[in-house]
Amino acid sequence: MSGSVVLLHLAGAVALLLFATRMVRTGVERAYGDVLRHKLRNTMRNPILAVLAGTALAIAFQSSTAVTLLVGSFAGAGIVSGIAGQLAVRGAEIGSALVIKILTFDLSLLVPLCLVAGTTMFLATDRRSWQQTGRILVGIGLLVLSLEMVGQASEPLRESKLLPVIIDYFAGDPVTAYLLAAIVTWLFHSSIAAVLLIVTLAGRGFVPPELGIVLVLGVNLGSSIIAPLLTRNAEPGVRVVPIGNLLMRGAGSLVMLVAFLWIKPSTAFLGSTGPDQIINAHILFNCIILVAGIPLAKLVYSASEKIVALGTRTDPAKEMAVAELSALNEAALDTPSQALANATRETVRVCETVEIMLQRIIELYESPDADKIKALASLDDRVDRKHQAIKLYLAKATIRPMTEDEALRCQELLGACVKLEQVGDIIVRNMLAHVQKKLDRGLEFTPEGWRELTSFHASVMANARLAFNVLVSRDANTARQLVLEKDRLRDVEKQTSQSHFLRLRDGTIKSVETSSIHLDTIRDLKQINSLLASMAYPVLEEQGLLRGSRLKAS
């Protein structure tokens, strides 16, 4: 087999490895992301629980970078402290390393089991939670399969005369090998994929343990760079945790490289085989960083804040552009297709504001704050202003001749804007009132009641994103899924109310105190979900998939 064909097979196996890792992560984020976020906020106040939570999330998301970005956003919003966020990221790195350890066992039987079970779950139902679970299982199956493919694709390299020369070069130039591993990891955007590739090649005898450890240290450097680069344009508070991770993990990898090259310790204590030694070195490194990071947490956090402050510059021109930016270009009114496109862009911005309001409201339920309540109320004023501007713009556009499709799209955008304004009103006039009542009276939900609220809210958030996607894509399958979710949530609302009344009957004090807030919030969320689901009706009607106000049987 020619070298080019071998490299093509190896590239395909690596591509499948990256795709499968991303597939598992997106499946977990879509199915359980909102629930995990809520649970994370509750556990991050305890340093030990913060580490454990970070470890568990990294195993679930198959990515320490995803956890770093998530925790960074929480720290930026003031939900968790920056120090607790850094400890959670330390745990996430260990969780990511443990995933690699698990995946090196003989899991070949999982491939057919996961593919069959996952595909069946994905195709046999329209329920999003089951479909995403199926996606996760298929991703796990493909992940294990990709590792087998990497091993098989690299087998012909045993006969290569060039490969030993390359390996000998990097073994003699560890600094270059370290930097190359960092660059490859940054390109992969996945330390798990990078380490698994190194371990698989080491299992075939291509990478000696000493070089493998150097490469793993480079992987840790590359992985610590990803989050700071992805958040370079974010708010300063969001960037502190990723920068702190770079200081600890990135700088730590460099210190460990120098120590490893200087001391040249035996790798035998790390395991009996090359792959075991490389994996255990990866785990040991992150454990050392965790242990060192606990006493250094305050110092690293302070340094991170100073670094972020140095790189933060206020651009008045940019701020003014953001404040005044509008897609409603009056010059495009003579061309209806362009005018409708402009109106769609502006409506999407309203969707983004409503999504922020819907996300922040549940945070206020958990931690009521007078300043944040005022800030959320001001977002509704923005929605009202944009709604009025879009309505006036579309009214001007209808003066010009339009095709039937353009006229229908105009009505669809008007309807969407009305519904989005109503959602904003429900959040501000109803739900914020519940938050204020909870704050004034110092009330607390029962653990069961809070789980019900957050779970119901997570479903509404997921449906909101579907509705916003439908507005742009006009995809019939997504629209149908959104309406089916509306029917499912109706049943969930009944079950939630029944559970709440059972707690009232049992005389649970907290249930009695928060009863009206609990029931009214569920009712408001259900109404919001109904408004958002109705944004799918024009698409379904156009496709002939509606019968009255109900879906036709498929």
Check pLDDT > 70 for residue 533.
yes
Q: How far apart are alpha carbons 374 and 395 in whole angstroms? A: 32
Phi-psi region of 6 (alpha: psi -120 to 50; beta: other; left: phi over 0): alpha
Q: Is residue 252 exposed (0-12), middle (13-18) or buried (19+ Cβ within 10 Å)?
A: buried
Q: What is the residue extent of each domain of the chain? A: 3-310, 322-551
Residue count (the chain): 554
- Which pLDDT band holds residue 311 (cuts at 50, 70, 90)? low
Contact 192, 14 (CB under 8 A): no
Contact between 450 and 27 (Cβ < 8 Å): no
Contact 171, 250 (CB under 8 A): no
pLDDT at 19: 84
Q: Answer yes or no: are the C-beta atoms of 103 and 147 closer than 8 Å.
A: yes
Is 373 or 215 the better-scoring residue by pLDDT?
Answer: 215
Please report, rounded to a whole number, the percentage of residues in the chain having pLDDT higher than 90.
13
Amino acid at 536: A
274/226 Cα distance (integer angstroms): 28
- The answer to whether 132 and 97 have CB atoms below 8 angstroms apart is no
Structure tokens at 406: 């353009």
Whole-angstrom CA distances from 143 to 32, 146, 318 are 20, 5, 43
Whether the per-residue pLDDT at 367 is higher than 50: the answer is: yes
Highest-pLDDT range among 237-241, 359-363, 368-372: 359-363
Cα 62 from chain centroid?
Answer: 11
Number of other CB atoms surrounding residue 19 within 10 Å? 15
Task: Please list the residues that pair with 546 across neighbouring strands.
Answer: 551
**Average pLDDT for residues 321-347, to the nearest whole number?**
79
Sort residue 121 into left (φ over 0), alpha (ψ -120 to 50) or beta.
alpha
Average pLDDT over residues 262-270: 88
Q: Is the dihedral of CA 22, 25, 28, 29 positive or negative?
A: negative
* Separation of alpha carbons 21 and 7, rounded Å: 21
* pLDDT tens digit sequence for 115-153: 999 899 888 877 777 888 888 888 888 888 887 887 777
* Among 36-50, 111-125, 152-166, 299-313, the least confident range: 36-50
Class of domain 322-551: mainly alpha
Q: Which helix (H) or strand (E) holds 403?
A: none
* The model scores a pTM over 0.75: no
pLDDT score of 260:
92
Q: Residue 554 has what pLDDT?
A: 47
547 backbone dihedrals φ, ψ, rounded to 5°? -125, 105
Whether 511 shows a pLDDT value over 60: the answer reads no
